[in-house]
Amino acid sequence: MEIITQFGSTLLISGCVLGFFMAWGIGSNDVANAMGTSVGAKALTLTGAIMVACIFEFAGAYLAGGEVTQTIRKGIIDPNLLADTPHYLVYGMLSSLLAAGIWLLVASIFGWPVSTTHSIVGAIVGFAAVCIGSEFVQWGKVGSIASSWVVSPLLAGTISFGIFKSVQILILDRPDQFQRAQKFIPGYIFLVGFVICMVTLLKGLKHVGIQFSAAESLALAAAFGAFLAVVGRFLIGRIKETAGSGRQGKHSDLEKVFAVLMVFTACSMAFAHGSNDVANAVGPLAAVVNIVQSGGSVMAKSALPGWVLLVGASGIVLGLIMLGYRVIETVGRNITELTPSRGFAAELAAATTVVVASGASLPISTTHTLVGAVLGVGLARGIGAIDVRVVGKIILSWVVTLPAGASLSILFFYTFKGIFG
């Protein structure tokens, strides 16, 4: 308690700086999960993707980022066991933020799409198991998080496979592709709006004091989806099929229609990503804020301050602007050849998986989810459509992330312990 009282302000400022640094790393690396497919499919330019992501990553992080934050904040370590040594929990959270942030910086410089969720969860588990004892780790919760890293890409891959197959059946395998695209794509846009709005209303807005019943959420989500569908139909109606342009030209006209759809799915994926992955930065920061402001009580109950989410959301946007382009290009162009008709299926499936996980308070890896979704689209076209070597390198970078985060976190924990006592 004495250390918290003596160094409280210093620890709080350190937490804010390191939380912002971790969020910066998320923006510079993990935002490729939201925007990479859009850039790779040429539905958005790199500049356009960054602008869209800045708006919707921020909105998702601030409006719907509160649920998963609780899991990172106090779901991995049992805080009851640290009631007499709250400063150890503070050191551990600061160490985890610094360790994960440094690893993300290194990965972003080299263009490796690593998992920020792996980084922070590995860092927290690493310092807790080695520095204060494995009994402090809630292994059941860690197990459920770890299982989600397997389940989420399988689920996203299955959904994207199904969505793309439906596109093939309804549109791509028909002689009147362009007309059928104009007919059915507003329905897919409705689905995008409905899924994002529904989960956000049900789970995401509690921390800002807004709550709706299930029936109210259903009605509002349906209305929002219908509104987006009307907007989409208007935009699609402005695209005209080029008369007598041959097979290649007709294919280009068709992809222009899908590009409109993909703008909507890009926005939804950015929102979904912000809502889930902001927790990786602000969860540990929220724990530090809670302990310092309560004078050392690890079990003090307090609402998540809005400014904490603001720190995370701002960091994500700045990291995206400064370094996000490197990983965007890796994810968007190297796994499989993407067109708007393929990319939208991957993004819609990934966004659906991520927002459902956010609503269930599970900090899943959006990296795993999107790669699974892209693989699902690739498999719908045949195994030859996938660059297996690139996928292998990405998976290897995931494997390295866990021990890297844990090792750095242990090192920094002992550093903070040496500095503050």
Q: What is the pLDDT of residue 144?
A: 75
Per-residue pLDDT at 94 exceeds 70: yes
Using one digit for the tens of pLDDT, what is the confidence trace for 248-279?
Answer: 555 677 878 888 888 887 887 788 777 777 77
Beta bridge partners of 386: 336
The pLDDT, as a whole number, for residue 244 is: 54
Give the model's pLDDT for residue 301: 61
pLDDT at position 36 is: 76
Per-residue pLDDT reduced to its tens digit, 373-411: 877 877 776 666 677 777 777 777 777 888 888 899 999
268: burial class by Cβ within 10 Å (0-12, 13-18, 19+)?
Answer: buried
Say what the pTM is: 0.78
Can you give the pLDDT at residue 367? 74
Distance of CA 264 to the CA centre of its chain: 17
Q: What is the pLDDT of residue 21?
A: 94
Give per-residue pLDDT as tens, 310-349.
888 888 888 888 887 777 777 666 666 677 877 888 888 8
SS3 per-residue string spanning 267-321: HHHHHHHHHHHCHHHHHHHHHHHHHHHCCCCCCCCCCCCHHHHHHHHHHHHHHHH
User: Is residue 179 predicted with pLDDT exceeding 80?
Assistant: yes
**Across 157-166, average pLDDT:** 86
pLDDT at 333: 65
Average pLDDT over residues 87-95: 88
Question: CB-based contacts of 268: which residues, under 8 Å, 6+ apart?
Answer: 56, 192, 193, 195, 196, 347, 348, 351
Question: Which whole number is the average pLDDT over 126-142?
Answer: 80
pLDDT at 190: 92
Q: Distance from CA of residue 163 to its chain's centroid?
A: 21
Contact by Cβ (8 Å): 343, 261: no
Closest CA to 107 of 372, 366, 324: 324
Instruction: Tell me whether residue 346 is exposed, middle or buried, using C-beta atoms within 10 angstroms of its C-beta: 0 to 12, 13 to 18, 19 or more.
Output: buried
Angle CA 318–322–325, to nearest 5 = 115
CB 195 within 8 A of CB 159: no
Residue of higher predicted confidence among 76 and 333: 76
pLDDT at residue 408 in the model = 92
State the average pLDDT for the chain.
79
pLDDT digits (tens, 9 = 90+) for 295-304: 777 666 656 6
Q: What is the pLDDT of residue 207?
A: 55
Can you read off the two tokens belonging to residue 285? 């920061």
pLDDT at 226: 95
**Rounded distance, CA 390 to CA 382, Å?**
17
Q: Region 94-110: what's the mean pLDDT?
A: 90
The pLDDT-based confidence of 9 (bands split at 50, 70, 90) is confident
Average pLDDT of span 19-43: 81
> Model confidence over 202-245: pLDDT tens digits?
655 655 567 778 788 889 989 999 999 999 899 888 888 776 55
Distances in Å between the Cα of 313 and the Cα atoms of 61, 90, 319, 397 are 5, 22, 10, 25
174 φ/ψ angles, rounded to the nearest 5 degrees? -105, 150
